[in-house]
Amino acid sequence: MTFHRRRILAAAAAAIALPAWAQTARPLRLVVPYPPGGPLDRIARILAESVKDTLGAVVVENRAGAGGNLGADHVAKAAPDGSTIVMGAVATHAINPWLYAKMPYDPIRDFTPITRVAQVPNVLVMNTEAAARLKITSVAQLVAYAKANPGRLNYGSGGNGSAGHLAGEMFKAQAGVFAVHIPYNGAAPMQLALLAGQIDFSFDNLASAAGNIRAGKLLALAVTTPQRAAAMPDLPTVAEAGLPGVSVDTWFGFFGPAGMAPDVVQRLNRAFTTALASADVRAKLAPMMAEPAPTTPEQFAAFVKAELAKYERVVKASGAKID
């Protein structure tokens, strides 16, 4: 067999192994269901760039609206040929199904899990001056004060049903305390209120709170993830502080439409998990406090089901609802 013929046969075999969209040289469409510039969008663009040598061109497309539901639904209804995927999140696949009165998709039935991408811890923080005034320097002291002064404390969140709100509800249930929830129209106004001392504490995204923690404006008491945060390893978890039922983090992951071929799913999984293992990608994620958390498709499917069940209990207990 001539060298030229071997090259032709090798190229043909490689083409057969590729999904249909790749054989036609179409770029992979990566839908981000949130506006440009946010952490999820930035992470998606970092990964899109990192896999271009293995997957070819990846086009990031922002389709924001309805708390992420608009973009997720677009992918749920796309052709399952692997040409369109979504960067889903804890909101789109675990919280929103219980928060919204009407959902355009089923988070399990209508998607093919590919891999979890990363998680960003939430952190229990207080205004530093308020903490000093109340003589609170730990989760235990916060709980003790709340028990001794029921209803005197309030906590803020970025809105009803947000991760910060639900973390607060978990905290109240586990600690057996009552604190008034004050929802804001987004994380930014909540953070301003906390810095101004208008609210006592919050469960904020670590990436958003880190600068003010390091500047001494906020006192960090604990992170809400099962493990300590790599960015602040000296900070205990809420579980270590005696409240093991409080576990909330902002996670992201890739999903395709239901019915994708297993070989296409595996190819996408290998490309993205390999990228997440690279030192270059990890270095780019570190400033956002995003900790890579890749999985197999099967592990990610099980994780999403567990998260969906967890947030069903929490959302229903909180009474949060969006019509």
Query: Are residue 111 and residue 136 in the same domain, yes or no?
Result: no
pLDDT for 186 equals 87
Does one domain contain both 126 and 219?
yes
* Cα distance between residue 82 and residue 257, in whole Å: 8
Per DSSP bridges, beta strands 249-257 and 180-183 are: unpaired
Q: Are the CB atoms for 116 and 251 separated by under 8 Å?
A: yes
The one-character DSSP state at 182 is: E
Residue 234 falls inside a structural domain:
no
The rounded percent of the chain whose pLDDT value lies above 90 is: 81
Tokens read off for 167? 């973390």
What residue spans of 176-320 are helical by DSSP H? 187-195, 206-214, 262-277, 279-285, 297-318
Domain match, 115 and 253 both: yes
CA dihedral 293, 36, 206, 158 (to 10 degrees): -120
In a domain, 242, yes or no: no
* 209 and 141 share one domain: yes
Range of the domain at 138: 121-223
Q: Indicate whether 143 and 194 sit together in one domain.
A: yes
pLDDT of 7 strictly over 60: no
Higher pLDDT: 6 or 59? It is 59
Coil, helix or strand at residue 28 = strand
Which among 184, 207, 223 is the end of a domain?
Answer: 223
Is the pLDDT at 64 greater than 80, yes or no? yes
111-133: pLDDT as tens digits: 999 999 999 999 999 999 999 99
Flag whether pLDDT at 67 surpasses 60.
Answer: yes
- Residue 19 scores a pLDDT above 90: no
In this structure, the answer to whether residues 110 and 192 fall within a common structural domain is: no
Query: In the listed set 187, 207, 223, which residue is the last one of a domain according to the structure?
Result: 223
Domain count, the chain: 2
Question: Based on the domain organization, do 199 and 125 belong to the same domain?
Answer: yes
Give mean pLDDT, residues 149-161. Answer: 93
Instruction: Kindly state whether residues 197 and 175 are assigned to the same domain.
Output: yes
- This prediction has a pTM of 0.87
Beta bridge partners of 155: 181, 201
As a whole number of Å, the end-to-end CA separation of the chain is: 68
Indicate the residue among 223, 240, 263 that finishes a domain: 223
- With 60 as the cut, is the pLDDT of residue 24 above it? no
Residues 84 and 44 in one domain: yes
Is residue 276 located within the same domain as residue 306? yes
Confidence of residue 226 (pLDDT cuts 50, 70, 90): confident
